[in-house]
Amino acid sequence: MAQQAVDAPAYDASSIQVLEGLSAVRRRPGMYIGSTDARGLHHLVTEVVDNSIDEVLAGACTEIAVTLHPDGSCSVRDNGRGIPVEVHPKYNRPTLEIVMTVLHAGSKFDRNTYKVSGGLHGVGVHVVNALSEWLEVRVCRNGQEYFQRYERGAPVAPLRIDGTADRTGTETRFKPDATILETTAFDRETIARRLKELSFLNAGVTIHFRDERNGSYETFHHAGGITEFVEDLNQASNVLFKPPIYLHTKRDSTDIEVALQYNDGYNESSIAFVNNINTVDGGTHVVGLRAALTRTLNDYARGRGFFKGDKEGLSGEDVREGLTSVLSVKVLEPQFEGQTKARLGNSEVKGQVESAVNEKLAEYLEEHPTTGQSLVLKAVQASQAREAARKARELTRRKGLLEGGGLPGKLADCHTRDPAESELFIVEGDSAGGTAKQGRDREFQAVLPLRGKILNVEKARLDKMLENEQIRALIMAIGIGIGDEQDMSSLRYHKIILMTDADVDGAHIRTLLLTLFYRKMPGLIGEGRVYIAQAPLYRLQKGARVRYAYSDEERDREVTEFGGMKGVTIQRYKGLGEMNSDQLAETTMRPGARTLLKVTVDDAVRANELFQILMGEEVEPRRLYIQDHAVEVTNLDI
Ligand code: 0RA
């Protein structure tokens, strides 16, 4: 194979600038990729994939292949036009090298289309390069195949031609630098989730995903685009109409795509993207969509005589009950705001989305009167339930005050009044509750025992929930309120710890509690206040030596450490109630000795997936899911 250096001047002063740029990235990686943990690591993959997606948006690419290699590297290959290799007029070096070492690929070679850029996104592939032990890029273009290798961001040799090529495209393979990133182990699920999302958002693109570490292979291709996305989100729900309402239109330079469908549930599952970036904090595009829904459904209902008086009307929350929607806009110059840069700020987009959705939705309702009627009826019921809930809440509050301080009788509160120091253990059953009360440190640990099953909030409206004694006790103890009236500043405990048995019932109660928190007190999970206590599964004893094991593997390890089974007694705990208060305190409650898992749920897609599994009938996938995903395992207080 021919190997020749591409004609370019030798290294000079400009390469020194490049090295300085790289060392800035390596010195402060967090500034570029947010963090150096697993999230930052996956950000590198996203960055490289997004560059190929930009090529899809430009209409120049149809296939992307992502591969995780056994050597710890990741490669991304596309069939786009290939990154230009021609000598860059300003830098006097091959453009490819400039893209890989200094520039954002899109910035100076404006492809004049929508780009995945802004905020933490679109920092440029040179950042990935700088944070990689090595990176190799292959470009097929002009009938040639070009190759260059970099180590820690710096080219180790000039761009060379590796032979001829009868296709075009770019392949980037990189190995994250373990001296900078805290973890370099790619998580297949995290990457698959993003690739699946991208294949919905860019209808027609085919994304191949191989994990050569275990031989798995998946393809993501959704010709139906975001319509299929909505169908996917609703797969476990009873939908009110099929197929989802879909619109795709342009207002000025903004490309607007919406798919929406209602189900017979009470929650909303809406996701919004700007240039393929998940805007978890919403923004002007979301405001526009919501305004259009409220306006159009109210107009429709009023026009058909659904309201008695002029004052009657549907609120935004009413019309979003049971809504599943995906909104995807493409904006030429997106302004991302907020701490995580996950909110769209462009003010013009609100009106653009609003007018597009108004028009399309009104037309849909005219053409589908039966569906229109059922949507309005559902929203009217939601409105009535909301009113009932408001009254019930009022009652709960007044009753709470009468009963003294508004605290439930079952709560064994802690002495300190400082929420930052206080912990609330929510315990399953009165018996384990009693043990926990004895084992706790009264100064800062409170215990609330819950009896029996608590209500499934997925299947109940707020007014029904407030009739439930267990839920009322929880609301009073936690202190922030529920539903639309929430005030995180009145949170009474900064750690809310679920302590349930390691059996099916325990998992069920934990699921219901997590659902309640996620759906009705989202601030708690959002601010990282919810934890799961890890109680041991086994107690091992040999003579005076006692060990606890939290998994089967750990049990086996301990047995080995004891020097075999001889003289070892193993007790399997079936529930918290089998421990005495000292044991419970020592293994599960006392800071310094215990392990807590912090509960986080990143995005709506994941949450949706999570609750479908959590609410499903199968217990085993649920248990595995809780262990593997739902709960990002953060070991604290070990
Ligand atoms: C700048 C200009 C052109 C293409 C690209 C960048 C490009 C970048 C990446 C990154 C990953 N894959 C890519 N594919 C293309 C257009 C060049 C032309 O007009 O031929």
- DSSP readout, 165-190? -SS-EEEEEEEE-TTT-S-----HHH
Supply the residue whose CA is at minimum distance from atom 4 of ligand 1. Answer: 83
Classify domain 13-220 at the CATH topology level.
Answer: Heat Shock Protein 90 (3.30.565)
Measured in Å, residue 137 CA sits from the centre of ligand 1 at 13
Span 369-396, mean pLDDT? 88
Q: What is the tens place of the pLDDT at every residue in 27-53? A: 999 988 989 999 999 999 999 999 999
Judge whether residue 556 has pLDDT over 80.
yes
Counting atoms of ligand 1 from 1, which one is nearest the CA of 76? Answer: 11
Measured in Å, residue 519 CA sits from the centre of ligand 1 at 43
What pLDDT does 392 receive? Answer: 77
Give the residue, 502 or 263, on which the prediction is more confident.
Answer: 263
Of 92-96, 592-596, 607-611, the range with the lowest mean pLDDT is 607-611
Ligand 1 near 111 CB (within 6 A): yes
Supply the residue whose CA is at minimum distance from atom 10 of ligand 1. Answer: 51
Ligand 1 near 76 CB (within 6 A): no
Token readout for 75 is 């490669």
What pLDDT does 197 receive? Answer: 95
Span 358-367, mean pLDDT? 96
Q: Indicate the pLDDT class of residue 421, thresholds 50, 70 and 90.
A: very high
Distance CA 483, CA 598 (A): 23
Q: Indicate the pLDDT class of residue 387, thresholds 50, 70 and 90.
A: confident
Judge whether residue 283 has pLDDT over 50.
yes
Q: Indicate the pLDDT class of residue 603, thresholds 50, 70 and 90.
A: low
Q: Are 587 and 579 in contact (CB under 8 A)?
A: yes
Domain 226-392 has CATH 3.30.230.10: yes
Span 89-95, mean pLDDT? 88
What pLDDT does 92 receive? Answer: 87
Q: Are 393 and 485 in contact (CB under 8 A)?
A: yes
Of 63-72, 123-132, 447-456, the range with the lowest mean pLDDT is 447-456
Judge whether residue 9 has pLDDT over 90.
no
Measured in Å, residue 605 CA sits from the centre of ligand 1 at 30
Counting atoms of ligand 1 from 1, which one is nearest the CA of 78? Answer: 12
Ligand 1 near 435 CB (within 6 A): no
Ligand 1 near 142 CB (within 6 A): no
* Per-domain boundaries in the chain: 13-220, 226-392, 409-535+597-601
What pLDDT does 11 receive? Answer: 53
Span 369-373, mean pLDDT? 94
Distance CA 126, CA 106 (A): 12
Burial group, residue 401, by CB count within 10 angstroms (0-12, 13-18, 19+): exposed
Q: Are 451 and 457 in contact (CB under 8 A)?
A: no
* CA distance between the termini of the chain: 57
Total H helices, total E strands in the chain: 20, 27
Ligand 1 near 75 CB (within 6 A): no
Judge whether residue 536 has pLDDT over 60.
yes
Q: Give the residue, out of 47, 53, 55, with the most ligand 1 atoms within 8 A of its beta carbon, to mutate for a pocket test.
A: 55
Ligand 1 near 55 CB (within 6 A): yes
What 3-state DSSP class applies to 376? helix
Measured in Å, residue 105 CA sits from the centre of ligand 1 at 7
Supply the residue whose CA is at minimum distance from atom 18 of ligand 1. Answer: 81
Measured in Å, residue 550 CA sits from the centre of ligand 1 at 51
Residues taking part in catalysis: 428, 501, 503, 505
Ligand 1 near 95 CB (within 6 A): no
Q: Give the residue, out of 61, 83, 127, with the most ligand 1 atoms within 8 A of its beta carbon, to mutate for a pocket test.
A: 83
Ligand 1 near 131 CB (within 6 A): no
What pLDDT does 618 receive? Answer: 53
Q: DSSP letter at 459?
A: G
Q: Indicate the pLDDT class of residue 604, thresholds 50, 70 and 90.
A: low
Report the phi/psi class of residue 147: left, alpha or beta, with left for phi > 0 and alpha for psi in -120 to 50. beta
Average pLDDT, the chain: 87
Helices (H), 330-439: 348-367, 369-402, 430-439
Of 147-161, 225-239, 463-477, the range with the lowest mean pLDDT is 463-477
Measured in Å, residue 124 CA sits from the centre of ligand 1 at 13
Rounded to two decimals, what is the model's pTM? Answer: 0.81
Task: Report CA dihedral (194, 200, 201, 204) to the nearest 10 degrees.
Answer: 120
Q: What is the tens place of the pLDDT at every residue in 324-361? A: 999 999 999 899 998 778 899 999 999 999 999 999 99
Judge whether residue 624 has pLDDT over 80.
no
Counting atoms of ligand 1 from 1, which one is nearest the CA of 172? Answer: 11
HEC string of 215-269? CEEEEECCCCHHHHHHHHHCCCCCECCCCCEEEEEEECCEEEEEEEEEECCCCCE
Task: Report CA dihedral (107, 110, 112, 117) to the nearest 10 degrees.
Answer: -10
Burial group, residue 416, by CB count within 10 angstroms (0-12, 13-18, 19+): middle
- The highest-level CATH class for domain 409-535+597-601 is alpha beta
Q: What are the Cα distances from residue 274, in Å, to 50, 277, 327, 435, 450? A: 13, 5, 8, 51, 43
Measured in Å, residue 84 CA sits from the centre of ligand 1 at 6
Q: Indicate the pLDDT class of residue 519, thresholds 50, 70 and 90.
A: confident
Span 533-546, mean pLDDT? 91
What pLDDT does 616 receive? Answer: 55
412: number of Cβ within 10 Å: 18
Q: What are the Cα distances from residue 194, in Å, to 34, 199, 603, 626? A: 17, 9, 11, 20
Distance CA 332, CA 338 (A): 19
